[in-house]
Amino acid sequence: MGNATLTIFSICIQASVGIVLFIAIAKLLNKEGIFKNATLVAAGLGIIGMLASVFHLGQPMKAFFALYQFSSSLLSREIWFTAIFVALVVLAALIFMLKPENKGIITGLIVVAALVGLIDIGLMGAIYSNASVPFWQTSATFVEFYMAAISMGAILFLFLSLQEANFMKKILAVTIAAAVAIQIAVVIPNLINLSISSSMAIQSSLVILSSMSLAGLFEWLFILAGAILAVWVAKDELSPSINNLVLSSAVLLLVGQTIGRYLFYAAMVVTGIGIS
Amino acid sequence: MGALGFYFDMQACIGCRTCQIACKDKNNLPIGVLFREIKKFETGVFPKSNSYNISYSCNHCEEAKCVKGCPTGAMHYGADGTVQHDPDLCIGCQYCIMNCPYSVPQLLPERNIIGKCDSCIDLRNAGQNPACVDACLMRCLHFGDLDELRKEYGEELVNALPILPSPDITKPSLLISPKTCALESSFTELEV
Ligand code: SF4
């Protein structure tokens, strides 16, 4: 349950941040763009992510206590930023449904939410890379989080705004390919690097990962296939079959990143007496 | 006055686990949860092998990562500088479990919050010793001002050993009188 709720939390929030980031960019490039579906889905993912983080707690009813230590605790800061991000996106979605003519306010909320969300992902990375889990204490943690947000956000944004985002299709495809390439270029060499580490905690993490190597294989197969499909569809004009391919690419990227995130949490080995 | 912490005489410890049981009894801990634990390590190769025990619990670190990371303030410094935990503020996020390099905080499954050694602050406030200290047959454990303990038990005490995370991470309030074999960098944990 613990790893599953943390996986749902971080994947949903990062996908939501990614979508919001591309809505913000698209709005800056095309002032007439509405991107209603993308905004609503980003708000939904944000809410699911928040709920998952609350139900991960042993005492969900006391969740708001986590806001108390902003000045000292990275986790408290991250919870503040997640809450503000979700609140901004939900507000934008509500205005969309109730007063859609307020385009300026919606754009403002989306742009601020995108900035807050990007800081939030940095804080998520900092939470884990500062923990006493040597496997997480590398820059790969940050790269994995940001690249997951970008690749999932770009493909979901494209799928949810096919007509409106058509003008960005090629940019989005190149962005997804670049994000996946960076993720692979950093995460795989990092794993190889860790394999020669003398840390017992890291070796224990790698033993856990090797016992789940089939899941690891599917993670990268799905992510790669999703990215290749995204690039493939970008060259053609819109049609129902292309839409299905975009959906397939989104599913592949989402499932691949979700498996990867589950493995990230499953590999947690904290240092201790005799395990450094 | 120095920080308050535990002194452990590894040279005298026979690994009987009386301290572990006394702690478990005092804190009424469920199966699988220990606030003080004994581990046994072996160095060298038979017939030239050696072994040693370590009795450890919360080190009441001066720069405790559990305190810094706790989002609610449940993990905090008490008035005497020891690391204390407020169960009413704890939300069971388990970030302290991920943060402590000594793997000290433990999840209390029935309460869905965490718990750890509070250095028997109730007993100490009543002028007594922590339960583990009084229980030890060999008088290996003491609790008090580390400067005083150092004066009493010698300057050769350490808080760094190959089996321990680096003391630079959290500045643990811990003094150990080590066996020579515990200074060897290669070791194996023995399951007993
Ligand atoms: S589990 Fe409790 S004590 Fe530990 S970090 Fe969370 S709120 Fe603080």
Q: Could you give the CA distance from residue B102 to residue A80 in angstroms, rounded to a whole number?
A: 28
Task: Look up the domain containing A50 and give its range.
Answer: 1-130
- Dig out the tokens for A220 from the structure: 């990268």
CA distances from B102 to A269, A275, A276, B173 (A): 12, 9, 9, 13
- What is the predicted pLDDT for the residue at A25? 96
Query: How many whole angstroms from A116 Cα to the centroid of ligand 1?
Result: 25
Give the model confidence (pLDDT) of B128-184 as tens digits.
999 999 999 999 999 999 999 999 998 789 999 999 999 999 999 999 999 999 999
- What is the predicted pLDDT for the residue at B78? 97
Q: Is the CB of B70 under 6 A from ligand 1?
A: yes
Q: Is the CB of B98 under 6 A from ligand 1?
A: no
* Number of independent structural domains in chain A: 2
Question: CB distance A57–B91 less than 8 Å?
Answer: yes
Domain termination residue (choose one: A99, A130, A161): A130
Do A245 and A160 lie in a common domain? Answer: yes
Do A126 and A62 lie in a common domain? Answer: yes
Domain termination residue (choose one: A97, A130, A163): A130
Domain termination residue (choose one: A130, A157, A189): A130
Domain for residue A139, yes or no?
no
By CB atoms closer than 10 A (0-12, 13-18, 19+), residue A194 is buried
Q: Is the CB of B67 under 6 A from ligand 1?
A: no
Three-state secondary-structure class, residue A120: helix
Question: CB distance A131–B95 less than 8 Å?
Answer: yes
Chain A residue nearest residue B40, CA to CA: A274
- What is the predicted pLDDT for the residue at B84? 98
Q: Could you give the CA distance from residue A69 to residue A219 in angstroms, rounded to a whole number?
A: 36
Do A116 and A3 lie in a common domain? Answer: yes
Q: Could you give the CA distance from residue A121 to residue B185 in angstroms, rounded to a whole number?
A: 38
Do A104 and A159 lie in a common domain? Answer: no
Q: Could you give the CA distance from residue A256 to residue A169 in angstroms, rounded to a whole number?
A: 22
Give the model confidence (pLDDT) of B59-102 as tens digits.
999 999 999 999 999 999 999 999 999 999 999 999 999 999 99
* Average pLDDT per 10 consecutive residues for chain A, totaling 276 residues: 91 98 94 91 98 97 97 98 98 95 94 98 98 98 98 97 90 97 97 96 98 97 98 83 91 98 98 95
Q: Could you give the CA distance from residue B81 to residue B59 in angstroms, rounded to a whole number?
A: 11
Its pTM stands at 0.95
CA distances from A192 to A5, A180, A184, A198, A265 (A): 28, 18, 12, 13, 18
Domain for residue A78, yes or no?
yes
Do A45 and A97 lie in a common domain? Answer: yes
Query: How many whole angstroms from B71 Cα to the centroid of ligand 1?
Result: 7
Chain B residue nearest residue A134, CA to CA: B101
Question: CB distance B112–A58 less than 8 Å?
Answer: yes
Domain for residue A18, yes or no?
yes
Q: How confident is the model at residue B1 (pLDDT cuts 50, 70, 90)?
A: confident
- What is the predicted pLDDT for the residue at B87? 98
Domain for residue A144, yes or no?
no
Contact between residue A254 and residue B87 where contact means Cβ atoms under 8 Å apart = no
Do A12 and A110 lie in a common domain? Answer: yes
Domain for residue A32, yes or no?
yes
Tokens 């949903």 locate to: A12
Do A96 and A161 lie in a common domain? Answer: no
Domain for residue A227, yes or no?
yes
Contact between residue B99 and residue B66 where contact means Cβ atoms under 8 Å apart = yes
Supply the angle between the helices A36-56 and A2-29 in degrees, to the nearest 10.
Answer: 160
Question: A59, A68, A198: which to substitute to probe chain B, counting the most B Cβ within 10 Å?
Answer: A59
Classify the complex by whether its ipTM is higher than 0.90, answering yes or no: yes
Q: Whose CA is nearest to atom 7 of ligand 1?
A: B90
Do A57 and A180 lie in a common domain? Answer: no
Do A17 and A115 lie in a common domain? Answer: yes
Chain B residue nearest residue A78, CA to CA: B71
Instruction: Among B91, B97, B111, say which to mutate for ligand 1: greatest number of ligand atoms within 8 Å of CB.
Output: B91
Domain for residue A190, yes or no?
yes
Chain A residues within 8 Å of chain B (Cβ atoms): 2, 56-59, 62-63, 65-69, 72-76, 79, 127-128, 130-133, 268, 270-276
Three-state secondary-structure class, residue B82: coil
Tell me the residue length of chain B: 192
pLDDT higher than threshold 80 for residue B10: yes
Do A65 and A166 lie in a common domain? Answer: no
- Dig out the tokens for A194 from the structure: 């860790």
- Dig out the tokens for A165 from the structure: 């985002």
Question: Considering CB atoms only, which of A66, A270, A273 is closest to B72?
Answer: A66
- What is the predicted pLDDT for the residue at A1? 58
Sequence-distant (6+) residues with CB within 8 A of A270 are: A131, A132, A133, A201, B97, B98, B100, B101, B103
- What is the predicted pLDDT for the residue at B25? 98
How many CB atoms are located within 10 Å of the residue A46 CB?
28
Contact between residue B3 and residue B74 where contact means Cβ atoms under 8 Å apart = no
Q: Could you give the CA distance from residue B183 to residue B165 in angstroms, rounded to a whole number?
A: 13
Classify strands B106-108 and B83-85 as parallel, antiparallel or unpaired.
Answer: unpaired
Do A116 and A161 lie in a common domain? Answer: no
Q: Could you give the CA distance from residue A249 to residue A205 in angstroms, rounded to a whole number?
A: 30
Q: Which domains does chain B possess?
A: 4-184 (3.30.70.20)
